[in-house]
Amino acid sequence: MRQQRRTALRLLLVLTLLAASASCLGGPSDRSVLTVLTPWTAGAEQEAFQAVIDAFEADNPGITVHASPTRALDQVLRAGVQKGEEPDLAVMANPGALRSYAQQQVLVPLDGFRDGALGRGLVELLESDYDPQWYRLGQAGTEHPYAVVVKASVKSLIWYDRRQLDARSIDSWEGLVGVGRSMVRRGETPWCLAVADPPNSGWPGTDWIEDILLHQSGADAYTAWVDGRLKWTSPQVSAAWQEWGRSVTAQGAVYGGPLTALLTSYGEGAYPLFTAPPGCHLGHGALVTPDPAARTGPLPGEDYDFVPFPDLGPVSAPVSAPAPAPAYEVSGDLVAMFRDSPGAEKFMAFLASRKAQRIWPQHQPEAAFSANRTVTQALSREAPGSIAGRINGLLASPATLCFDASDSMPSTMAAAFNHAVLDYLNDPAQLPAILTGLDRAQADAYPQPTRSSVCPASSPSSPSSSPPSPSTAARPR
């Protein structure tokens, strides 16, 4: 009997313990989880960034990096910062946004890491392996470096249908314009163009205009314009718009006409370049992608190729101006840290490393490049004749690299620029009104004078490198 009672009491005790433990399941994990807000929601870019993450996690088994992709990155990030729920890290394509967050002091500077040795090593790597303009880009106009360029793109490229065109015929602006006109006369369409990419529709057109301005008026004018010191109605900027208009707004100049260019998604813009027969023969920008549904993919170097964006004659006749050094418009995706942690610091340091910088170009060899000079030089040597190798060669050359202008402008100015491109494609006759409107937006968008670092200081690339005259300079109101 006594034994039975003991058994019963023990059973009661066990049940009590079971009941107590049922409410206490789970516990903290030692594993560190980082969240990175990214704009890459699908496709090759998402896969490439995941490969970078995988490589980091393999080296750091105690850290998990969770990529949180969103198309509305700006809005999500802004809302997160306002609510105090910012991610550990975020990718920004817009140095203007980086500057804004740096000024709000919500970013962790790379030289302010808790792990001082890691931070010093990272800054030294950025200074030694990266060109100064990439480093200054990460400084966002401040004294401290805040960002690492995780991927770079070259925008000053003209892609062409190699089956129909010869590179020599389009390696100058006059040649390019002439080829376009003769195609139109033959009833063919020279240019592929697509600008739909909400919420930033119009940006492919801004890249065109920026490229023309850079190659027509030089890096100094380009920088002055980005900084709000050169008006939109100035001869330089106005000429760039008109030059672009001569290429794309003429009857039959773009595939499907301006309305089709306005309505076609940017990613699908080059599809007609690869059809048989081709719907268009030329494209501008960082990359062209064939329709993934096509039965056979085009062969790079055989079916299509690129030439660097050619220089244009200066707006005003030069007085024995020296031959300009090459200049290319580039863009980059910047990773900045919002929440300091040992894992986040390690991830930032890894992103800048040569190992990490090689991963993305290997996944997207013609579309994604490294800002790390050592990596770029190595990649250009490894495949010197390929499209990727030649673009790497452009990056590794002593050419002037100027960062995407609209990405570097204040966000309101960039939005107005994007929208102006749409308006211009809709009705080119409205150009004077459009430029006047942009001048007004410029006056509002630059309350204080800024000095960006879109191009290297005292750039040698200035076909008409006279500084903007007082009459053309913007006067902040």
List the one residue from 233, 260, 377, 450 that touches other proteins (CB under 8 A).
Answer: 260
Q: Output the smallest distance, CB 118 to other proteins, in A.
A: 27
Q: What contacts 334, CB < 8 A, 6 or more positions away?
A: 91, 92, 93, 95, 98, 137, 138, 147, 148, 149, 150
Q: Which is nearer to other proteins, 79 or 457 (CB)?
A: 79
Contact between 5 and other proteins (CB under 8 A)? yes
Contact between 93 and other proteins (CB under 8 A)? no
Contact between 19 and other proteins (CB under 8 A)? yes
Span of 71-79, 181-189, 241-249, 292-300 interacting with other proteins by CB under 8 A: 71-79
List the one residue from 194, 213, 221, 280 that touches other proteins (CB under 8 A).
Answer: 194
Residues 347-376 binding other proteins (CB under 8 A) are: none
List the one residue from 3, 23, 296, 320 that touches other proteins (CB under 8 A).
Answer: 23
Distance (Å, whole) CA 350 – CA 107: 18
Q: Output the smallest distance, CB 470 to other proteins, in A.
A: 35
Q: Are 409 and 96 in contact (CB under 8 A)?
A: yes
Contact between 201 and other proteins (CB under 8 A)? yes
- Backbone φ and ψ for 466, nearest 5 degrees, come out as -70, 135
Contact between 142 and other proteins (CB under 8 A)? no
Contact between 69 and other proteins (CB under 8 A)? yes
Angle between helices 342-352 and 116-129 (to 10 degrees): 20
Span of 18-26, 177-185, 222-230, 443-451 interacting with other proteins by CB under 8 A: 18-26
Q: Which is nearer to other proteins, 79 or 294 (CB)?
A: 79
Q: Output the smallest distance, CB 263 to other proteins, in A.
A: 5
Q: Which is nearer to other proteins, 167 or 259 (CB)?
A: 259
List the one residue from 126, 261, 344, 454 that touches other proteins (CB under 8 A).
Answer: 261
Span of 140-148, 254-262, 281-289, 393-401 interacting with other proteins by CB under 8 A: 254-262
Measured from the Cβ of residue 214, the count of other Cβ atoms closer than 10 Å reads 30
Contact between 15 and other proteins (CB under 8 A)? yes
Span of 169-177, 253-261, 284-292, 301-309 interacting with other proteins by CB under 8 A: 253-261
Contact between 299 and other proteins (CB under 8 A)? no
Distances (CA, A) of 85 to 37, 76, 79, 156, 280: 12, 10, 8, 38, 47
List the one residue from 55, 76, 325, 383 that touches other proteins (CB under 8 A).
Answer: 76
Q: Output the smallest distance, CB 421 to other proteins, in A.
A: 11
Contact between 265 and other proteins (CB under 8 A)? yes
Q: Output the smallest distance, CB 50 to other proteins, in A.
A: 15
Q: Which is nearer to other proteins, 81 or 213 (CB)?
A: 81
Distance (Å, whole) CA 202 – CA 418: 5
Q: Output the smallest distance, CB 85 to other proteins, in A.
A: 9
Q: Output the smallest distance, CB 70 to other proteins, in A.
A: 4
Contact between 294 and other proteins (CB under 8 A)? no
Q: Output the smallest distance, CB 252 to other proteins, in A.
A: 13
Residues 402-421 binding other proteins (CB under 8 A) are: 419
DSSP collapsed to 3 states, the chain: CHHHHHHHHHHHHHHHHHHHHHCCCCCCCCCEEEEEEECCCCHHHHHHHHHHHHHHHHHCCCEEEEEEECCCHHHHHHHHHHHCCCCCEEEECCHHHHHHHHHCCCCCCHHHCCCHHHHHHHHHHHHHHECHHHHHHHHCCCCCCCEEEEEEEECCEEEEECCCCCHHHHCCHHHHHHHHHHHHHCCCCCECCCCECCCCCCHHHHHHHHHHHHHHHHHHHHHHHHCCCECCCCHHHHHHHHHHHHHHCCCCCECCCHHHHHHCEHHHCCHHHHCCCCCCCEEECCCCCCCCCCCCCCCECCCEEEEECCCCCCCCCCCCCCCCCCEEEEEEEEEEECCCCHHHHHHHHHHHCHHHHHHHHHHCCCCCECCEHHHHHHHHHHCCCCHHHHHHHHHHCCCEEEECHHHHCCHHHHHHHHHHHHHHHHCHHHHHHHHHHHHHHHHHHCCCCCCCCCCCCCCCCCCCCCCCCCCCECCCC
Contact between 426 and other proteins (CB under 8 A)? yes
Count of residues near other proteins by CB under 8 A: 43
Q: Which is nearer to other proteins, 75 or 469 (CB)?
A: 75
Contact between 199 and other proteins (CB under 8 A)? yes
Contact between 112 and other proteins (CB under 8 A)? no
Span of 14-22, 164-172, 304-312, 455-463 interacting with other proteins by CB under 8 A: 14-22
Residues making contact with other proteins (CB under 8 A): 1, 5, 8-9, 11-12, 15-16, 18-19, 22-23, 35, 66, 68-72, 74-76, 79-80, 194, 196, 198-199, 201, 256-257, 259-265, 268, 419, 422, 426-427
